[in-house]
Structure 1
Amino acid sequence: MDISKEKNIYRKWLGVLLLLIEMNLLGGTIYGFPAIFKVLSKNKIYQNLCSSSTTDKCSEQLQQYQNGLTLGIAFFDLPSFVIGILIDKFGCRFVKLISIIFHIIGWLSLALLKPGRDYLLYIHCIFSSISGIVVVITTYTSSNYFSKSRAFVASLLAGAGISSTMWFSIFQAIIDNEILELSHLAYIWLAFGLLMLITSFLFLDWKYSFLNLPYKFDVQLESTDENELNRNSFWKHFRSPLYILVVLFLSILLIPSVFLAVVWEPSITFITEHDKSLANKYTFAYNVTMAFSIIICPINGFLLGFKADKSKKQKLLNISLVETTSWLLNIALCIIPMFLSPNIIIPILIINCLSRATIVAACQAVISTFFPSTYIGRLTGIMWTIVGIITFIQFALVKLTNPIEEAWRAWLIILLLVVIMSCHLIQIWIKYFKQKKIELNNFIVTNTRF
């Protein structure tokens, strides 16, 4: 190994480390936003919607917080298609530099949020989410600097993004202990725009001919024949059954964990019988447990990549096992919240972490491992845009959760959607057994010749 190549390897892995930290800080904070609902209420955000007779619970105020969260989650996914196209055309560095502007606007809005400027809540949710999804997609794309360890790197970064959910709970703990105020924490997070600037130039590249990285995407396990690449055009990959089913599978199976985030605050308030101190502790645990995604996602990535370069049969087996596990976890996640009692809290914390980490890591690793890096930006972007479109179903589902005791109706609808996706599992297992039969026949034919 020559010295320059060895330096590039060290730089690649240093990039993974810093991008992992960045993903953890900025990648998906919007999913933990319910943790500061009580802080927003204490700061009298949208207090004007509450009647003077309201002493503790104000459904109109809570509805604004939930709408901001749902809109933020939708905008976390919706721009992905456009972002993917921009990445393929201009490169990750260019797109990420533009996103720094959205990052600054988003967190500055939260820092300046106060009664009379309540609308800044929505601006924070939308702009910080757009910035966050750029961080996520550009970081996922950077996994293409690796070949054999691509699935592991992609899933490790996915785990870091999911674990970013915990930060708003940490905000809540800091504010409750009167260490800092929400505005101070928002200014600190605004300053992480500098980290985005540093990682953009040191570990990401663009299509321009200056200030380029000394290494390119590692495509040694992909087809390098130009005619093959022409035959395997973007539209062929876009229309492939594997891609279509993975996108639908991710879109539907993310609904339970996303919906849980939206209804967590009223659910935990009901379960704890309005004990604010206990509810805050459970909310903190709910978000902090997502930090274990950093461990769970790479395990899923390892399982997906296990001997995947040896045969197509092994690839299909890996996908089938991980996606079946994810489907079963989401079935449980839909059923348990129908029964609001203290006994469901611990199971929900465990299953929510496992299910979200498994489905995100599985689908992202499938995209990163089984599709050409040439189209990775667009394919990832389309996938998350469709997820964002389907997220809007929650505006209708939330209406079924008032009062929260009737939330089982919304969970039943989500359960039916998840059950319908069993058709994908049937198809993927059929593909596996067909491929297994083909390889077995080939093995028999080859050995009978001798």
Structure 2
Amino acid sequence: MDYRQMRQKRFLIAAWAFMECLLFGGLLYGWGSLMFVFKQEGIYAELCDNNGQAAMSAMTNSSSSVTYVTMNNSSEDKTFSDSKFKDCPEQDCKFTLCFTIASALFCASGAALGQINFMFGTRVTRIISMIIFAAGSLMLAFVTKETPWLIFPGLSFLAAGGLPLLVTNTQVSGLFGKGSSSIVGLLCGGFDMSSAVQLVVKIAYESGISRQHSYYFLTALHSLVLVSTFVFLPRDFIVNEDATWTNIGVADDKDVTIELPKKSKEKDDVVDENTEGLKENSYEIQELPTLMSCVRRPLYIIHVVWLCILQLRFYYLIGTLNPYLNRVLNKDDKMVSHFTNMCFYIMMGGILSSFLTGVVYDWQKKCFANSRSSMRQNLMPAVLPLAIASFLAVLLSVLVLIPEPSLLYLIFIIMTLFRSFLYSMAAAFLSAMFPSEYFGVLYGIMIICGGVFGFLQFALFTWAETYVESPLHTDIFLLCLVLVSFLHPLYQWYSCYRAGKKFTI
């Protein structure tokens, strides 16, 4: 299917891309629901008592404190944990380590598969991701109390297999011209909302459907990705035939690369006028910039730092959601289950908030479209949405300092908005500022840097378990850290301010 045919079917292709991101993209973010199921099944429960054998014996022999549920006429039983296992730092530490490793490998795979995408194209990347995803899904299905270690590779593969769907589908935004940022936001919304798949697994588990059957079904459903891989998307990349790349050389800034639409042959006069205008403003038409020149740009580096800081804040909250709820709700198992569900119900609203991020970004582009300074035209539209993401991170960090159950709903709403602005802007910014051919590599490098930085979450969790007030001190540290993220929008604003002064002179 060539570019013109894809343009004609762009809404169908975008809808299918959204469906893929929704069902299979960001299942890692639903870890809180899956962790609850594993705890109910007694995975790593032997760590909760110094005498592990006695603890497991109590769980299997005590009919007064343990409930057995037989599902689908199977001889396999599910064991719901006794209340004495609710406060188990050793078990929480094991699960947090699992999430830390999975999130780090999730980011590392982004760089590896981004390079594969750059070298071999879209189709090869998606086939590899399908194999990885299926392996991870089946490993999570086979997890038992005898083989709990399968959680580590299972969750890691499930995450690594989902990210390439977002990376390869983002190029679909190039089919929509001026609304490209909104499409990127929509895809990121589907990616965010996919955490609800793990919530469905939890609800199905509580309704009598085994975790194993849920993941068998998910593995089979993943075959739908083949449709887009071999029917909609090209073997290599979607190349926008109506655009050419231009490097801006105004006001000593060479960090911005934008895509300008080509003019048709019927509009030669317009082309001549625009060309003359470009000459007057020191614009210089150049060939596609090199990949390394993009990586070395301060604009890209500070964007990576911005993501690293804010992603650590988000990962720490997701990874410690269950211990956090137990602490706030005084270890009330029913309330923890209720608020775990509510968290991921609310996070399903990410489809709207992520699309809103793209709309805000496109709106800002229109606001600065007529600016005399090219710097303002291209950098200023990102300042507001980037600043909103940083502000939401600060607000979230303040709210978690208050151990009040009534604030949990607000925390979940802010967390959903924060995640949407974080990941939508992380992708949309790169898509707008750099060539689409390099998007997979640049996004992968950014994600792997975020993953390496994300290893700090386990150190933070260990710190939070050391003494009584350590959770409070950890959250205060994160609050101070996220304040640094405001440097990104401030850097862009100051660059535009300097460029504007030189332009007027």
Task: State the distance in 2 between where 1:256 and 1:95 align.
Answer: 30
- The one-letter code of the counterpart of 1:24 is L
Alpha carbons of structure 1 residues 5 and 130: separation in structure 2 relative to 1, 3 Å: closer
Seen in structure 2, the aligned counterparts of structure 1 residues 301 and 340 have a Cα distance that, compared at 3 Å, is: same
2:451 matched residue in structure 1? 388
Q: 1:222 aligns with which of 245, 262, 265?
A: 245
Counterpart of 1:347 (choices 395, 406, 410) is: 410
Quote the offset at 1:7 in angstroms: 4.6
Indicate the residue corresponding to 1:237 in structure 2: 294
Distance change (3 Å), C-alpha of 1:405 and 1:73: same
User: Could you tell me whether the CA contact under 8 Å between 1:35 and 1:283 is conserved in 2?
Assistant: yes
2:325 is matched with which residue?
A: 268
2:384 pairs, out of 313, 321, 325, with 321
Contact 1:31 1:165 in 2 (8 A): yes
Residue 63 of structure 1, aligned match among 90, 93, 99: 93
In structure 2, what is the Cα distance between the partners aligned to 1:386 and 1:229? Answer: 30
Distance apart, 1:12 and its partner CA: 2.3
In structure 2, what is the equivalent of residue 82 of structure 1? 112
Letter matched to residue 183 of structure 1:
Q
Aligned partner of residue 320 in structure 2, secondary structure: helix
2:472 aligned with 1:411: no
Q: Which runs of 5+ in 2 are unaligned?
A: 56-81, 247-258, 261-283
Among 141, 146, 152, the alignment partner of 1:116 is: 146
Query: Residue 282 of structure 1: which of 326, 332, 339 is its match?
Result: 339
Supply the AA of the counterpart residue of 1:270: R
Q: What's the counterpart of residue 217 of structure 2? A: 188
* Matching residue's letter, 1:365: A
Which residue is equivalent to 2:495?
A: 431
Q: In the alignment, which of 175, 184, 195 is matched to residue 154 of structure 1? A: 184
Deviates more, 1:401-410 or 1:105-114: 401-410
1:48 is aligned to 2:112: no
Question: Cα distance 1:5–1:135, how it changes in 2: closer, same or farther (>3 A)?
Answer: closer
Report the TM-score when normalising by structure 1: 0.89
Q: Match for 1:332 among 395, 398, 401?
A: 395
Q: What is residue 255 of structure 1 aligned with on the other side?
A: 312
85-94 or 143-152, larger mean C-alpha shift: 143-152
Please tell me whether the aligned partners of residues 188 and 423 of structure 2 are also in contact (alpha carbons under 8 angstroms).
yes
* Whole-angstrom distance in 2 between the partners of 1:89 and 1:395: 34
Which is worse superposed, 414-423 or 17-26? 414-423
- 1:159-170 paired onto structure 2 within 5 Å: 159-170=189-200
CA shift digits 1:125-174 (9 cap, x unpaired)? 11111101122211223333443222111111011101111221222122
Length-normalised TM-score, structure 2:
0.80
Aligned residue type for 1:251: C
In 2: Cα distance, 1:150 partner to 1:291 partner: 22
- Number of aligned residues: 430
Per the TM alignment, residue 8 of structure 1 is displaced from its structure 2 partner at its CA by 2.9
AA of the residue aligned to 1:272: L
> Residue 360 of structure 1: which of 412, 423, 448 is its match?
423
Q: Deviations over 1:237-262 (max 9, x none)?
A: 21112111111111111222211101
How many Å separate the matches in 1 of 2:326 and 2:496? Answer: 46
Letter in 1 for 2:167: I
Cα distance between partner residues in 1 of 2:199 and 2:44: 21
Q: Partner residue of 2:267?
A: none
Are the aligned partners of 2:3 and 2:240 in contact in 1 as well (CA < 8 Å)? Answer: no
Contact 2:10 2:172 in 1 (8 A): no
1:64–1:309 distance in 2 versus 1, CA, 3 Å: same
Which of 74-83 and 93-102 deviates more? 74-83
- Native 8 Å contact 1:34 1:69 kept in 2: no
Contact 1:36 1:172 (C-alpha < 8 Å) held by counterparts: yes
Distance across 2 between alignment mates of 1:32 and 1:153: 23
Q: Cα distance 1:56–1:82, how it changes in 2: closer, same or farther (>3 A)?
A: closer
The structural deviation recorded for 1:56 is: 2.4
Query: Is the CA contact 1:21–1:160 (under 8 Å) kept in the aligned structure 2?
Result: yes
Which letter does structure 2 place at the counterpart of 1:386? C
What displacement does 1:304 show?
A: 1.7
Measured at CA, do residues 89 and 433 of structure 1 come closer, stay the same or move farther in structure 2, by a change above 3 Å?
Answer: same
Q: CA deviation at 1:94?
A: 0.8
Q: Counterpart of 2:195 in 1: which secondary structure?
A: helix
**Does the Cα contact within 8 Å between 1:144 and 1:218 map onto a contact in 2?**
no
Larger radius of gyration: 2
**Which stretch of structure 1 is more off in the superposition, 46-55 or 323-332?**
46-55
Asked if structure 2 preserves the Cα contact closer than 8 Å seen for 1:84 and 1:381, the reply is yes
- Aligned match of 1:448: none
- Checking the alignment, whether the CA contact within 8 Å between 2:129 and 2:160 is kept in structure 1 is yes
CA 1:13/1:413 → structure 2, altered by over 3 Å: closer, same or farther? same
- Superposition deviation, residue 5 in structure 1: 7.5
Q: Which amino acid aligns with 1:378?
A: V
1:304-341 Cα deviation digits (max 9, x unpaired): 22326555313322211111111111111112212222
* Equivalent of 1:94 in 124, 140, 149: 124
Q: Determine if contact 1:92/1:138 at 8 Å carries over to the other structure.
A: yes
Aligned partners of 1:73 and 1:129 also within 8 Å: yes
Superposition CA RMSD, Å: 2.3
Q: What does residue 135 of structure 2 align with?
A: 105
Residue pairs, 1:296-307, within 5 angstroms: 296-305=353-362, 306-307=365-366
Deviation at 1:423, TM superposition (A): 2.8
- The whole-number CA distance in structure 2 between the counterparts of 1:347 and 1:364 is 26
Which protein is richer in helix relative to its size? 1
Q: Distance in 2 between matches of 1:146 and 1:218?
A: 12
Q: Which residue of 2 aligns with 1:204?
A: 233
**How far apart, CA to CA, are the structure 1 residues paired with 2:244 and 2:360?**
18
Identity of aligned residues (%): 24
Note the C-alpha offset of 1:438: 4.7
Are 1:32 and 2:30 counterparts? yes
Question: Aligned AA for 1:259?
Answer: Y
Name the amino acid aligned to 2:353.
Answer: I
SS of 2:395's equivalent in the other structure is helix
> How much has 1:28 moved relative to structure 2?
0.7
